Amino acid sequence: MKTITKHYIDGAFVESHGRETMDVISPTTGKLIGRVTLADVEDTRRAVAAAKGAFVDFSRSTKEERAKILRRLHEVSSARIDDLTAAMVEEYGGVVQFAGLIVQTGVNAFVAAEQALHELPLTRSWGKTTVTLEPVGVAGLITAWNANTLFICLKLASAIAAGCTVVIKPSELSSLQTQVLVEALHEANLPKGVLNVVTGLGNVVGAELVGNPDVAKISFTGSVAVGETIMRDGAKTMKRVTLELGGKSPTILLDDAALDQAIPSALVMAFMNSGQACAAGTRLLVPKNRLDAVKQGIRDAIHAFPVGDPADPKTAIGPMVSQKQYDHVQSYIRKGIEEGAEVLVGGEGHPTGFEAGYFMKPTVFVNVKNNMTIAREEIFGPVLCVIPYDSEDEAIRIANDSQYGLHAAVLGTDLQRARRVASQIRAGRVVINTMTDDPQGPWGGFKYSGIGREYGRYGIEAFLETRAILES
């Protein structure tokens, strides 16, 4: 059993002042695998004070000095890729085929930020006016559990590139993974106080960061409910906020799509990270005249998404992160059935042979209307809703008829047409024909999916203030 009793403050691992502990339960077996001592307000204030002290010098560092630090962070985190992946598989049951990609994307964020920093002009001048982009101050980075290494690396890389010092509050469900990552980052020998990490509860450590007047900025990844709290409570100290929130992303299958490619793509987008992904394409919009063929295609393709041990590279669907999350997803399956949707594959309960952990069957509903609860609310599990449409215009209307606007996909053979449809989707990112990523491309949501953007120069700009100096 692993025990964590320390936080990372002012360049050192220090014993927790907070005494409350939390058990870490394996989602794969339901057994106790660790215990973590949670930070309290005092630990958080110490971390903020360290970050505030370090900001004085770090905010004056040069681009070159920060680029060097980013390269070091990449080096030390790359050296622990296997350990980081293993911790993600063990602690929350992330399937290894996806966890490996997530960790790789996380450590690459340091390189991507270095490139973006190099290309981002921090000074502009004309006449007797000079405009500079200045680090905003101490940043509180609050993250969700479902891709811990990625969120921490991404936010840290942008903050460092901008010249900010940070206090990271990882999800309390990611303590073991965070420990491996912080051990790695410690090896980069950052100036003391630039990086601080306190693991604790959201309503304790998170709330203190949001309310603390010495924290200038909150970069948050998590639910809409907590995002709203952060905006409201952060207003008292005029916090700058970046909010990366939930989604109910549409995948529009156009009537010229090649189904043998489009259906597996749609299922990958729906079930990535066992459906516990903000970007999951959970509403599949299908032209009515192809509905029967799509249903048959899904029945055939679902065999390529086996449930199993997340450490097995063949497994596509692992357990839900916790009993609470399992119950939450199951309640939506019941709700879908009650509201008149039809289960095409999957359904309630554990798959046979997987009763011990929090495993569930990947589930596809058909006969779904876009006003049903399962089509409107984020489920955060492997549940896909198939929604029929009559025309391209109706598909676009249904896709945009959501409070969310994080991600979307368009699947079709005629690229011009796919682009035309993509350009009408109210979402921060739209992919055409396959799930893809670009570390310099912005990431973030329209509407309730959030405020602001991460990745590349967009991510760095979120940690900068603009100052003009005018001479007479």
Residues 6+ apart with CB under 8 A from 405: 247, 426, 427, 428, 445, 446, 447, 448, 449
Q: Are 409 and 427 in contact (CB under 8 A)?
A: no
64: annotated active-site residue: no
244: annotated active-site residue: yes
**Given 172, 278, 378, 385, the catalytic residue:** 278
Element containing residue 42 per DSSP (H, E):
helix 41-58
How far apart (Å, rounded) are the C-alpha atoms in residues 74 and 95? 24
Residue 245 binds ligand NAD (CB under 6 A) = yes
How far apart (Å, rounded) are the C-alpha atoms in residues 262 and 253? 7
**Given 244, 378, 385, 454, the catalytic residue:** 244
Which residue is nearest to ligand NAD, using beta carbons? 202
Smaller CB separation from ligand NAD, 69 or 385: 385
Q: Which stretch binds ligand NAD (CB under 6 A): 122-130, 167-175, 311-319, 412-420?
A: 167-175
Element containing residue 211 per DSSP (H, E):
helix 207-211
Residue 38 binds ligand NAD (CB under 6 A) = no
How far apart (Å, rounded) are the C-alpha atoms in residues 66 and 118? 10
Query: Which residue reads 């014993």 in tokens?
Result: 15
At 70, list the tokens: 């980013």
State the minimum distance, in angstroms, from the CB of residue 52 to ligand NAD.
Answer: 19
* Contact with ligand NAD (CB under 6 A) among 108, 199, 229, 242: 229
* Contact with ligand NAD (CB under 6 A) among 100, 163, 193, 202: 202
Smaller CB separation from ligand NAD, 309 or 378: 378
Q: CB atoms < 10 A from the CB of 343, how many? A: 16
Smaller CB separation from ligand NAD, 171 or 330: 171
State the minimum distance, in angstroms, from the CB of residue 251 to ligand NAD.
Answer: 16
Residue 204 binds ligand NAD (CB under 6 A) = no
* Contact with ligand NAD (CB under 6 A) among 115, 223, 400, 413: 223
* Contact with ligand NAD (CB under 6 A) among 34, 193, 246, 281: 246
* Contact with ligand NAD (CB under 6 A) among 34, 222, 234, 310: 222
Residue 177 binds ligand NAD (CB under 6 A) = no
Element containing residue 469 per DSSP (H, E):
strand 464-470
DSSP state of 351: P
Q: Which stretch binds ligand NAD (CB under 6 A): 19-27, 76-84, 238-246, 303-311?
A: 238-246
Phi-psi region of 33 (alpha: psi -120 to 50; beta: other; left: phi over 0): alpha
Residues 405-464 that bind ligand NAD (CB under 6 A): 406, 445, 450
Smaller CB separation from ligand NAD, 245 or 410: 245
Instruction: Give CA 427 to chain center in angstroms.
Output: 16
Quick check: helix, strand or coil at residue 39?
coil
Query: Which residue reads 């505030």 in tokens?
Result: 52
* Contact with ligand NAD (CB under 6 A) among 85, 108, 171, 177: 171
Residues 145-164 that bind ligand NAD (CB under 6 A): 145-146
Residues 125-144 that bind ligand NAD (CB under 6 A): 142-144
How far apart (Å, rounded) are the C-alpha atoms in residues 420 and 405? 18
State the minimum distance, in angstroms, from the CB of residue 377 to ligand NAD.
Answer: 10
Smaller CB separation from ligand NAD, 77 or 276: 276
What is the secondary structure of 270-334 as a DSSP string? HHGGGG--TT---EEEEEGGGHHHHHHHHHHHGGGS-B--TTSTT-SB---SSHHHHHHHHHHHH
- Residues of the shown chain interacting with ligand NAD in the complex, contacts defined by CB under 6 A: 142-146, 169, 171-172, 202-203, 206-207, 210, 221-223, 226, 229-230, 244-247, 278, 378, 380, 406, 445, 450
Q: Which residues are catalytic?
A: 244, 278
